Amino acid sequence: MFSIVELIGKKRQGEPLADQEIRFIIEEFSADRMPAYQMSALAMAIFFRGLDDRETATWTDAMLRSGRVLDLAALGAGRVDKHSTGGVGDKISLPLAPAAAAAGVIVPMVAGRGLGHTGGTIDKLEAIPGYDAALSVDAFKRVLGEVGCCIIGQTEEIAPADKRLYALRDVTATVESIPLICASIMSKKLAEGIEGLVLDVKVGEGAFMRTVEDARELARRMVAVGRQMGTRVVAFLTRMDEPLGRMVGNACEVEEAVATLSGEGPADIVELTEVLGGAMVELARGVSFDEGRARIRAALADGSALDRWRRMVFAQGGDLDRLPRPSGAVAVRAGRAGVVQAIDGREVGLVAMQLGAGRARREDTIDPAVGIRIDKKVGEAVAEGEALATILTGAARHVSEAAMARLGAAFEVGDRPVTTRPLVLERVG
Ligand code: URA
């Protein structure tokens, strides 16, 4: 038995917490014996003082044990998932899970919803009429056994302590703490019963981690926690300055994912699917990364990834033929000719959210047909009056001048030629 007040004070002074103290904190919080104000104070102390690798691993393990840990061993070896720290236009999980399954990986994916400027995989999938992201664990296992991949939303049973803590962090300005982000992500992922995990740590203006140094530290932490807990983890730092692909929204991102699965995806989406998928095959099947990447490329080219996708969506009740279509399209045009120098992904994500493609608060509802098409990406030339982006409308056809102006301002058009920078910056682990 410890005193919570003393433990908060200990962390406030920058002292490490012992393993038993951390387990006590998570148990008390989970059992409603530690009030939200004390956990908020502790989260702020951790925000400033940090947790070392041992503390982070113990914190992760305690949150993981607050709920159910799936046992998927009966499905066989090769269970590997991917997680992204979240970005604008990031629909990679949609083509990736079926492509990896076609290449011999078992992909039990528990994905999240969007909040703020970033979208969420589950919101995108739920744009498909009938898609059931709330399968029971038994149904999840059945689809995994039949198709090799299944994507569901976080259940109440997986890492409930994280769910409560995340809600507190969200309203106490303590989300951006590297050890807390690490423990939050890893507690959920390690509860999936996986043997390996590939992480896409986003860096840049549109991401949680604005600098390469912070992203590298988060990646290093997650790889270390995985190692301590017996799961192989590989992380890639990838750029998130401009939106990924050309579509930002929900139904329109599903369409772009289907194009990728049909061999017609935008270059950045294809590259990321190949790189992350290549590492998944490497971890699952013990082949080299290059061989893994070649297998993903083949699955995208020969239709086997598309076939897995259709089977997964069908098995989860979705009807792709009834994907919502936009009610109209409104172009945002360039005020001058030039070359697109930069696109503020965060701003594009926020405009999409305001238009109804995302939610500012958890209880907000989404219009799946709403989206933004990026007509000109960074480095592309634009003529005066040509469309930089197009707003795809949903139930509300009217688009305010303010939204159009804000979207237009997210594009910087200039005269300098733009040298393309690599999308994948480095690999950790
Ligand atoms: N995503 C999570 O799941 N948790 C965090 O803390 C941040 C991003």
The pLDDT of residue 209 is 85
Contact (CB, 8 A) for 63 and 26: yes
pLDDT tens, residue by residue, 181-197: 999 999 999 999 999 99
Whole-angstrom distance, CA of residue 371 vs CA of residue 253: 8
Cα–Cα–Cα angle for 252, 254, 260, rounded to 5 degrees: 110
Nearest to 92 by CA among 209, 230, 201, 218: 201
Average pLDDT over residues 239-268: 96
- Residue 240's nearest CA partner among 115, 391, 85, 135 is 85
Q: Can you tell me the distance from the alpha carbon of 18 to that of 96, in angstroms, rounded to the nearest whole number?
A: 40
Bridge partner list, 427? 236
Q: Ligand 1, atom 5: nearest CA belongs to which residue?
A: 181
Q: How far is CA 166 from CA 133, 172, 201, 309, 364, in A?
A: 21, 10, 19, 31, 18
Lowest-confidence pick of 62-76, 86-100, 163-177, 262-276: 163-177
The CA 135 to ligand 1 mean position distance, Å, reads 22
Q: So what's the pLDDT on residue 167?
A: 87
Instruction: Say how many Å lie between the CA of residue 389 and the centre of ligand 1.
Output: 30
> Given this model, what pLDDT does residue 364 score?
83
CA-CA-CA-CA torsion sign (160, 164, 167, 169): negative
> Does pTM top 0.85 for this prediction?
yes
Task: Answer yes or no: is pLDDT of 293 > 80.
Answer: yes
Residues marked active site are found at 83, 162, 169, 184, 188
Q: What is the mean pLDDT of residues 355-366?
A: 85
Pocket probe for ligand 1: among 110, 184, 199, 225, the residue whose CB has the most ligand atoms within 8 Å is 184
CA distance 308 to 313: 9
Architecture of domain 326-414: Alpha-Beta Complex (3.90)
**86 pLDDT more than 90:** no
The lowest-confidence range among 14-18, 336-340, 364-368 is: 364-368
Nearest Cα to Cα of residue 268 among 129, 407, 377, 116: 377
Strand blocks (E) in 173-283: 196-203, 232-239, 247-249
176 Cα–ligand 1 center, Å: 9
Mean pLDDT of 278-307: 98
- Ligand 1 centre to CA of 417 (Å) is 37
Q: Residue 422, Cβ neighbours under 10 Å: how many? A: 9
Q: What is the pLDDT of residue 115?
A: 67
CB of 39 within 8 A of CB of 29?
yes
> What is the model's pLDDT at position 143?
98
Q: How high is the pLDDT of residue 36?
A: 96
Asked if 232 and 199 touch (Cβ cutoff 8 Å), the reply is no
Q: How many CB atoms lie within 10 A of CB 421?
A: 10
pLDDT of 159 higher than 70: yes
Question: What single-letter DSSP state applies at residue 177?
Answer: -
For residue 322, what pLDDT is reported?
97
Phi-psi map region of 34: left, alpha, beta (phi>0 left; psi -120 to 50 alpha):
beta
Residue 311 CB coordination number (10 Å): 17
Nearest atom within ligand 1 for CA of residue 185: 3
d(CA 162, ligand 1 centre) in Å: 9
Report which protein residue has its CA nearest ligand 1's atom 2: 185
The domain made up of 73-321 has a fold known as Pyrimidine Nucleoside Phosphorylase; Chain A, domain 2 (3.40.1030)
Which tokens in the block code for residue 401?
A: 């001048």
Number of H-type helices and E-type strands within the chain? 16, 13
Residue nearest to atom 3 of ligand 1 (CA): 185
> Which of 175, 181, 222 has most ligand 1 atoms within 8 Å of its beta carbon, as the pocket-test mutant?
181
Do the beta carbons of residue 408 and residue 225 sit within 8 Å? no
Assess whether pLDDT exceeds 90 at residue 207: no
Is residue 208 scored above 90 in pLDDT? Answer: no
- 110 class by beta-carbon count within 10 Å (0-12 exposed, 13-18 middle, 19+ buried): buried
Local confidence band at 113 (pLDDT 50, 70, 90 cut-offs) = confident
d(CA 37, CA 14): 20
**Site residues for ligand 1, CB cut-off 6 Å:** 85, 166, 175, 180-181, 184-185
22 CA to centre of ligand 1 in angstroms: 19
- Give the integer Cα–Cα distance in Å for 204 and 349: 14
CA distances from 348 to 244, 354, 379 (A): 11, 10, 17
Q: How far is the CA of 277 from the centre of ligand 1 (A)?
A: 22
- Say yes or no to pLDDT of 360 above 90: no
- Relative to the CA of 169, which ligand 1 atom is closest? 6
Contacts of 206 (CB under 8 A, 6+ apart): 87, 88, 117, 118, 240, 241, 242, 243, 344, 345, 346, 348, 349
**Centre of ligand 1 from the C-alpha of residue 267, in Å:** 27
**CA pair distance 408, 389, nearest whole angstrom:** 8
Which ligand 1 atom sits nearest the alpha carbon of residue 175? 6
Residue 266: pLDDT over 70: yes
Share of the chain above pLDDT 90, in %: 87
pLDDT mean across residues, the chain: 95
230 class by beta-carbon count within 10 Å (0-12 exposed, 13-18 middle, 19+ buried): exposed
Domain 4-50 and domain 73-321, same fold? Reply is no
Q: State how far the Cα of 394 lies from the Cα of 376, in Å rounded to an integer.
A: 22
Query: Dihedrals φ, ψ of 134, to 5°?
Result: -115, 45
Phi, psi of 126 (to 5 degrees): -75, -5
Does pLDDT of 382 surpass 80? yes
pLDDT at 401 over 70: yes
Alpha-helical runs (H) found in 118-250? 121-125, 137-147, 160-170, 178-190, 212-228
**Spans of all domains in the chain:** 4-50, 73-321, 326-414
Q: How far apart are CA 424 and CA 418, in angstroms?
A: 18
Quick one: fold of 4-50? 1.20.970
Q: What letters, b where the CB count within 10 A reaches 16 and e where it falls short, cover 81-93? A: bbbbbbbbbbbbb
